[in-house]
Amino acid sequence: MAALSIEGIFEAAVRILLEEEKLINLVFSPGNVMIRFPTTRRLAEYLKVPHYYVLPYFAMMEELQLVTRAERVGILTTPAGTKKLMEIISGRFRNQALLLMGENVLSDIESRTL
C-alpha cells in the first residue's frame, strides 16, 4: 500500500485506475492531456485512512499545480500532474497500462507528456 504523501497519493491513484477500476479518463485540450483523478473519498478508502487525512494533501497538490478541481468534472491533473502520473505509469505500471490502453495510445500519451 502507498504511504500518505503526495507521492503515495499519486501511486495510489495509479493503482486504483489501472488495477481496480481498469479505467482512465483522459481530457484533451490544446497542448494538454489531463487525467481524471480518483475522488478524495476513494483514495482515502484505498489508503485506509479517514477522508479528512487526504484533504490537506490535495490542497498541497493544488498549490504545487499538480491537480485542479473542476466543478461537475472532478479532480484533473494539470500538465505537471499528468507528467508525474505518467512517470509512475511508464516506470512501474507499464504492463498494466499496456493491457488497458494498448501500445499506440500509451505511446502517444507518453510522447505528449514526458
Residue ranges covered by each domain of the chain = 6-113
Helical H segments across the chain, by residue range: 6-15, 40-47, 51-63, 79-92, 94-113
Architecture of the domain delimited by 6-113: Orthogonal Bundle (1.10)
CA distance 47 to 3: 8
30-55 confidence digits (pLDDT tens): 989 999 999 999 999 999 999 999 99
pTM of the model: 0.93
Cβ 35 vs Cβ 25: under 8 Å: yes
Residue 113: its pLDDT value, please? 92
Give the other-Cβ count within 10 Å of 75's Cβ.
21
CB 65 within 8 A of CB 78: yes
pLDDT digits (tens, 9 = 90+) for 64-84: 999 999 888 899 999 999 999
Return d(Cα 69, Cα 55) in angstroms, integer. 12
Residue indicated by cell numbers 500500500: 1
